[in-house]
């Protein structure tokens, strides 16, 4: 039986490096895989969580997900190749605890199979657990499938504009 398993990544591995190299250019052609040290720092940060989705083979006894939660499986699941990833970051502000979803990408060959939904569900679950009052993300208007997914997961468009100032490393 094919299913999806979502895991929170705890450490760097060659498999994770391969997934970054394969998936990030699908998010944006100008993105290169981050250096190992940057990934290790990100994974060690107490207010950052990286989730990965995998296709998996499991016995009939494996548990499957509800509409907004990732698939759960017991230790008998054979975890397969990483087909998607999502980063969740959170912080406290005077107006409350906020969380942001960043860098969501699902392999083109796995789109439409529930990986994005499972990843967003995992992020929503952790955001609730850590007490975030708002969970936010940005999405390019040209990404119609992604925007439909976010609406299906309960997100609404905000009447706001995101301003960006690129910081020079100088």
Residue 165 has pLDDT above 60, yes or no: yes
Residue 86 has pLDDT above 90, yes or no: yes
User: Does 157 reside within a domain?
Assistant: no
Residues 6+ apart with CB under 8 A from 131: 97
pLDDT (average), residues 101-112: 95
Can you name the residues that pair with 50 across neighbouring β-strands? 87
Q: Which residue has the tokens 């040209």?
A: 142
User: Does 167 reside within a domain?
Assistant: no
Category of 12 on φ-ψ map: left (φ > 0), alpha (ψ -120 to 50) or beta: beta
pLDDT at position 73: 40
Residues 6+ apart with CB under 8 A from 155: 135, 137
pLDDT at position 32: 84
User: Does 128 reside within a domain?
Assistant: yes
User: Does 54 reside within a domain?
Assistant: yes
pLDDT (average), residues 58-66: 47
pLDDT at position 58: 61
pLDDT at position 80: 87
Residues in the chain: 170
Quick: pLDDT tens for 67-84.
Answer: 333 444 444 445 789 999
pLDDT at position 69: 39
- Residue 85, domain extent: 2-152
How many separate domains does the chain show?
Answer: 1
User: Does 92 reside within a domain?
Assistant: yes
Can you name the residues that pair with 48 across neighbouring β-strands? 89
List the structure tokens of 132: 């975030």
- Work out the burial of residue 169: count CB atoms within 10 Å of its CB; fewer than 13 is exposed, 13-18 middle, 19 or more buried: exposed
Mean pLDDT, the chain, whole residue set:
88
User: Does 101 reside within a domain?
Assistant: yes
SS3 call for 142: coil
Cβ count within 10 A of residue 160: 7
Cβ count within 10 A of residue 6: 26
Residue 147 has pLDDT above 60, yes or no: yes
Residue 61 has pLDDT above 50, yes or no: no
pLDDT (average), residues 134-146: 95
Quick: pLDDT tens for 2-42.
Answer: 688 999 999 999 999 999 999 999 999 888 888 899 999 99
């Amino acid at each position: 039986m094919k299913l999806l398993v979502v895991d929170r990544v705890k450490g760097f591995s060659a498999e994770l490096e391969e997934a970054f190299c394969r998936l990030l250019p699908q998010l944006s052609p100008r993105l290169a895989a981050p250096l190992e040290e940057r990934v290790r720092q990100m994974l060690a940060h107490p207010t950052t969580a990286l989730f990965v989705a995998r296709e998996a083979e499991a016995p009939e006894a494996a548990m499957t997900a509800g509409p907004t939660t990732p698939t759960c499986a017991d230790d008998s699941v054979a975890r397969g190749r990483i087909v998607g990833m999502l980063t969740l970051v959170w912080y406290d502000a005077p107006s409350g605890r906020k969380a942001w979803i960043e860098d969501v990408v699902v392999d083109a060959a796995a789109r439409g199979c529930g990986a994005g939904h499972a990843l967003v569900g995992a992020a929503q679950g952790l955001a609730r657990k850590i007490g975030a009052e708002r969970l936010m993300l940005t999405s390019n208007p040209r990404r119609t499938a992604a925007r439909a997914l976010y609406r299906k997961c309960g997100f609404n468009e905000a009447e706001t504009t995101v301003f960006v100032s690129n910081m020079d490393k100088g």
